[in-house]
Amino acid sequence: MLTMDLRVRESRSLKAKRSVVRSLVDGARSRYGVAAAETDHQDQWQRAEVAFAAVSGSQQHVAEVLDAVDRFVWSHPEVEVVSAERSWIEI
């Protein structure tokens, strides 16, 4: 799982922030096949926490997918990445 704390610089309302977050979440879902959701700061108009999760039989494949998602988020000029954290669940 990849959790990213984001700052939405140009946002002046919750509606504007949700539009940016929805674009990131929907884009990551369709491009990389990950589960994605806004997980914190829903009531703040310039801040968002977004989590992305991937499942695979290979840890290397999950790492590659999450690397791609990480680059995808960083490539969006509307957001500033404040922090990013990965966590792993192994069975």
Query: How many CA atoms, within 13 angstroms, populate the side-chain half-sphere of residue 49?
Result: 10
What CA–CA distances, in Å, run from 54 to 2, 18, 62? 9, 23, 6
**CA 40, 71, 35 angle in degrees (round to 5)?**
50
**Does residue 91 have a pLDDT over 80?**
no
Whether 65 shows a pLDDT value over 80: the answer reads yes
Question: Which pLDDT band holds residue 64 (cuts at 50, 70, 90)?
Answer: very high
- H-helix or E-strand spanning residue 62: helix 59-74
The residue length of the chain stands at 91
Q: Which candidate, 32, 35, 65, places its Cα nearest to that of 51?
A: 35
